[in-house]
Amino acid sequence: MPTSRRKPARARTPARRAGAISRPPGVAARRRAERFDPVTAEIVRGYMETVAFEMATHVSLTATTPILNQSNERNATILDARGCLAALSVGIPQFMLSSTLPVRFALEFFGPDGLHDGDVLVANDPYHGGGHLPDYNVFAPVFHDGEMVLVASIQCHHADTGGGAPGGYNVDAPDIWAEGVRFPALKVIERGVERRDVFYMMATNNRTPTFPGDLRAQIGAAQLGVRRLKALCERWGNEAVRAAVDSTIEYAKRRFRAEVESWPDGVYESDVFVDQDPKGHPDIHVHCKVTIDGSRIAVDFSGSDDRPEIVAYSTFGNTRGYVIAQLAAMMAPDIPKNEGFFESVELFVPEGCCLNPPPGRSVAAGTHHPGTEVGEAIAKALSNVVPTRCCPQIYKMGMPTVIFGNDPRTGRTFIDHSVDTFAAYCGAVKGQDGWGAMNASFGNLIRATAEINESIFPIRQLSRDYDTDSGGAGEFRGNCGSVYRKQVLVPASIYTYVVGRRWPMPGIAGGRDGSPNELFVRVGSDAKRTVGDRSERVPHEAGECYEYHYGGGGGWGDPLDRPADRVFEDVLDEYVSVEGARRDYGVVLTGLLEEWTLSIDRTATERLRAKMRRERDAR
């Protein structure tokens, strides 16, 4: 497979391509931080985090589309006037860490005199710092005493972007322009007055009838953040707020570097793959080299796939966010997540590879894959360096299974992103089996219940259940995936692209991979079939279903080291079958589960495990 042979070089950010460079904190900022009272800095940080949480909650309470008002697929951040991340609320890790570059572009594009008190801006362009087009970043400058001090930002995933496919996921798009409408930085409110022409233009270019309400929800959240942050500046003063931000960033940087210094020096490499891109080009390759030298860490993706024909690209901003999300998950959770993380990582991503595409390429699918594989690659590279905290912050879904058609109750187009409750991709870590239903990388994403979505869309959810033996075996077991069946009640199309079939969720430190994904369409008819290696739009008649077998999480550690009693409990809970206990864990059970006579044959278990270890060592 062709890979990049170019000399590793620091990747230019998408904002820099557009001529926008935001200055990082300099010597003056560091001196200001060193002199500032750390107790006051913590008070200011706590205030800003609370404001961010309030902004995010405002969207959930006021938005009009399920993907915004139910799923928590939104996140708020506070930035300083340089565009440096200062504080955030708990949310989707990728949203928390990908809001800075669009703001920095706007700051440079409009210049020091181009933004005013009362302005609210919208940005969603992947090539001006964003992730992909459905992720709309709405932000507003915070002025006090005539100075811009902070920026309040709220980022949400929207149900549509215009373009060639309903739902914002046109993974068949030949370029970025076919995906939908791009907004690099657009003033939708100027000096407190709504720009009706801009708002109407945006609504006209969106299929979702509830889009205006969603956009207004974000605008309201940004304006709420501005009011709260003005009160902060009024209470403490502009200089103190700036010093508090600088102090918190410097504190995070010190903590980050201290953690890295505790890791063993060395060069650690890994290779991971995506099954294929939406056009069927196989094995999209991500190569990662992590260098640890004292408190210094460098992450280099040179050698990652740069085939010109592929359609699988993660933008630089997206890649950057996944790098920080994975590293943050492997460090002490009380380190503030702010610009101190970004400044502490030397990141090299060659322009033209799958993680930093040439301008104009389609990125609808790439924000997921190879985006999430960035976290997988770092986790695999550092699996023996930070083993107690090593869990890939990823998922293996390809894209959401989007259902669209005409709802006869309203006469309007409906778009169901299948943001429903299911279990999948929950990997184990040392000391903890995979848990619950959601993988760690989704953060506090909430998936809607069947009852809610059935009341909104013409669909029925017929079954959801854990899939026995789907979790990766290990000393700590990956959580099970699930079997999920959804029925359409009216003629509709199902648009999807599936990965994680050949390259499922990885096991770590000797743990086994989780089960692969498998999606069946037109279930309930003679045309039932599985989705293959390309994206598809499959028409369904009323009454037909799709059936998704979502993959399980990867295991951690040697399965033969899992205590037999815990395997026995897994069998009782139907996470593992009697056959799986013997095959994967070397645990021999006698009796019948159905009659509650099941028990462990400990002598046979010891013999079988010893035999399995000998055979493994011989291989």
Provide the 8-state DSSP code for 476. B
243-290 pLDDT, tens per residue?
999 999 999 999 999 999 999 999 999 999 999 999 999 999 999 999
28 burial level (CB within 10 Å; 0-12, 13-18, 19+): exposed
400-453 pLDDT, tens per residue?
899 999 999 999 989 998 888 888 999 999 999 998 887 777 777 777 788 888
487-502 pLDDT, tens per residue?
999 999 999 999 999 9
In whole angstroms, give the CA distance from residue 612 to residue 173.
49
Q: Residue for token digits 């070397």?
A: 586
First and final CA of the chain: distance in angstroms? 28
259-268 pLDDT, tens per residue?
999 999 999 9
Average pLDDT along the chain? 90
292-338 pLDDT, tens per residue?
999 999 999 999 999 999 999 999 999 999 999 999 989 999 999 99
Which range among 64-78, 114-128, 420-434 has the greatest average pLDDT? 114-128
18-56 pLDDT, tens per residue?
333 334 556 566 555 566 788 999 999 999 999 999 999
pTM of the model: 0.89
Q: How far is CA 414 from CA 173, 238, 417, 459, 469, in A?
A: 21, 47, 10, 11, 36
Q: What is the pLDDT of residue 421?
A: 80
User: Beta strand 74-80 with 85-88: parallel, antiparallel or unpaired?
Assistant: antiparallel
* CA-angle at 176, arms to 170 and 180, nearest 5°: 55
Name which residue leads in pLDDT, 348 or 413.
Answer: 348
Phi, psi of 548 (to 5 degrees): -110, 125
Checking if the pLDDT of 15 tops 90, the result is no
Q: Residue for token digits 């699918």?
A: 365
Mean pLDDT over 146-161 rounds to 94
406 CB neighbour count, 10 Å cutoff: 14
Residue 583 corresponds to which tokens in the numbers above?
């095959």
